[in-house]
């Protein structure tokens, strides 16, 4: 799983970690299960952060090309990624969700 994570193959890494979590649960390895669940959470956050950053960069490129509809759409998706990160326990994403939503609304009005 760590190899997959290092290669930025987050979905594969999460699947492997989930298998390990199932195994730990079946064998009542509570401490290991908690560690694995925390690793899954952090891996998902890392994956979503990268996706959010990529979407935001794509939105900025769309703005430079005066493609405001595409920019608004990309900012909306980036906001959804930030919201998912928040749901995984990263409370600092509250402001990020608002910021990205405001950007999406701003460019939606310009289309």
Distance of CA 5 to the CA centre of its chain: 14
**pTM above threshold 0.85:** no
| Domains of the chain by residue range | 2-110
pLDDT in tens, the chain (111 residues): 778 787 778 889 899 999 999 988 888 888 999 999 999 999 999 999 999 999 999 999 999 999 999 999 999 999 999 999 999 999 999 999 999 999 999 999 987
């Amino acid at each position: 799983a760590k190899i997959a994570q290092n290669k930025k193959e987050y979905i594969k890494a999460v699947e492997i970690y989930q298998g390990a979590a199932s195994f730990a649960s079946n064998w009542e390895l509570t401490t290991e299960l908690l560690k694995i669940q925390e690793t899954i959470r952090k891996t998902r956050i890392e994956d979503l952060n990268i996706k959010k950053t990529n979407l935001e960069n794509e939105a900025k490129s769309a703005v430079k090309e005066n493609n405001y509809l595409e920019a608004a759409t990309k900012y909306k998706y980036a906001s959804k990624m930030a919201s998912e990160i928040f749901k995984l326990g990263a409370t600092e994403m509250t402001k990020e969700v608002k910021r990205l939503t405001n950007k999406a609304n701003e460019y939606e009005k310009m289309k």
